Structure 1
């Protein structure tokens, strides 16, 4: 972690400013596996608090959240937990994939690109979900989630860069430590808004 921060601070004055301002950064993590992917699906385009409340209702309903219990659960019961029709489809598609051929336990030994290529095949799992899973659950060191509104808005604010193409070009300078750059950007975003960490 310190090596990545030192690299970024030397490469980019704005990261040096962030280090001087905060000294330490919140480094989120989550367990790898099915449950985390389910939670990320629920978190798509809603607040973290709303998604957490929804997952707790599902957990109370099912007892244990597994591919088998999701598949066996009636859509109406999931809907009563606050899950939209679209996300019910996504959860069941993921559950069926894991029950069939998707080996989540193999992911820690695979490259980020290999994981992305497998997950992107599943309806309802896009690049934001994959990026956050790679960062939080697999600790991939070089991920910049440019589908994340907090990251995008903070880059706009700090670097005066506004298009995705410009952001990609900018982030090339942060390789191979773009995940730590993401943590620093997230930390600033939350601190500036006086918000708690979102994991």
Structure 2
């Protein structure tokens, strides 16, 4: 999803959603957010769970330095204590080892993921320990650049959607999915806009 696609998608959404039509001129369009795919990207998602962006970046940098080459085989060859010393929690080390093991034994076929439908790719990723639906959807949106993803379990998205829709409180994930169902097939661009709006929207 490059800038041209995002701009076009949001113009389409503005035609079907009066709230986006009102907010888009105020907030502007968000920039693209693209990440690499594969093992390193999934490992980064594990590292980033429940920590700040800054902390995740620092830990990820230390882990990458430790591994030298970020691969499933290399991670399995490194002592768990070294990963702990780099800043990963024992639970995240368990998840990372499970991910690496699934890649090595082909339980998880990284090359097949880009060719699977959204729901199937989400099912495959979220079947791994440490990966819920949110983690899978983030991978699809940013690493596989899928165009119709809405991570409804994301707190910032829910808060932003509540503000955008002028609700008295943030919606539940189920309510949020219902509220933006008409955004298909551009729900990824809508999600990017909500994160952008979250940072600049009036409280």
Using structure 1 for the length normalisation, give the TM-score.
0.92
Give the CA RMSD over aligned residues: 1.5
User: Pick from 155, 161, 165: which aligns with 2:161?
Assistant: 155
Q: Aligned partners of 1:156 and 1:84: how far apart in 2?
A: 33
Structure 2 partner of 1:104: 110
| Pair 1:75-2:84 in alignment | no
Count of residues paired in the alignment: 193
1:98 aligns to what SS in structure 2?
helix
- Is the Cα–Cα contact under 8 Å of residues 119 and 125 in structure 1 kept in the other structure? yes
Structure 2 partner of 1:51: 56
How far off is 1:190 after superposition?
2.5
1:17-47 Cα offsets, whole Å, 9 max, x none, are 2321133322201011110111011111111
User: Pick from 2, 7, 12: which aligns with 1:7?
Assistant: 12
- Is the Cα–Cα contact under 8 Å of residues 63 and 83 in structure 2 kept in the other structure? yes
Please give the residue correspondences for 1:110-125 in structure 2 after superposition, counting only pairs within 5 Å: 110-125=116-131
Please give the residue correspondences for 1:1-199 in structure 2 after superposition, counting only pairs within 5 Å: 1=5, 2-101=7-106, 102-159=108-165, 160=167, 161-192=170-201
1:105 aligns to what SS in structure 2?
coil
1:138-161 Cα offsets, whole Å, 9 max, x none, are 111111101211111111222215
Q: Aligned partners of 1:23 and 1:90: how far apart in 2?
A: 38
- Is the Cα–Cα contact under 8 Å of residues 18 and 184 in structure 1 kept in the other structure? no
How far off is 1:192 after superposition?
4.5
Unaligned runs of 5+ in 2: none
- Is the Cα–Cα contact under 8 Å of residues 158 and 172 in structure 2 kept in the other structure? no
Unaligned runs of 5+ in 1: 194-199
- Is the Cα–Cα contact under 8 Å of residues 23 and 164 in structure 2 kept in the other structure? no
Q: Out of 152-161 and 8-17, give the one that drifted further.
A: 152-161
How far off is 1:169 after superposition?
0.9
How far off is 1:4 after superposition?
1.6
